[in-house]
Structure 1
Amino acid sequence: MFSKRQMHGRDSTSLSLFLLESRRAEFVHWLMIVPSFLFFLWNPLWAAWLNVLYAVLFNVPLIIIQRYNRPRLERIISSQ
């Protein structure tokens, strides 16, 4: 795992690892939304939609953050 509290270095290898970690984080957040649709199998309709809403509200902002940071990291890496 990659600590997100502090950067491990500003060299291209460390930044490339951080970039890879940001891609993995985005993918995981997308994956966390997908199972929310399974709640339709055993919950009332309103509760299932509530679970979908919860999954979207708490994962989409993190996906947006990853997508915002990725081009910035790529520019920094390419400038080195």
Structure 2
Amino acid sequence: MKNRENAKGYWRDNIKYVIILLAIWFAVSYGAGILLKDELNQIKIGGFKLGFWFAQQGSMYVFVILIFVYVRLMNKLDKKYGYDE
């Protein structure tokens, strides 16, 4: 019975992490790339407008960083629930 509760807690925490990380990615890609584009275009980096940069490359960089964050969080979660080997 304890193993089943352990698995439910593990899955609940996993889904919580996924939802939070996807919300961050959505906020960066949609918010910075589309909604805040005009405000961010006032700033230039390397000759490119910041809104354009977020729309074209920034959301991809954030996604890759979030993958590494997810791996780290899952490793901690595995140790917490005893699923690490």
The normalised TM-score by structure 2 is 0.48
Greater Cα radius of gyration, structure 1 or 2: 2
- Higher relative contact order by CA 8 Å / sep ≥ 6: 1 or 2? 1
Structure with bigger strand share is: 2
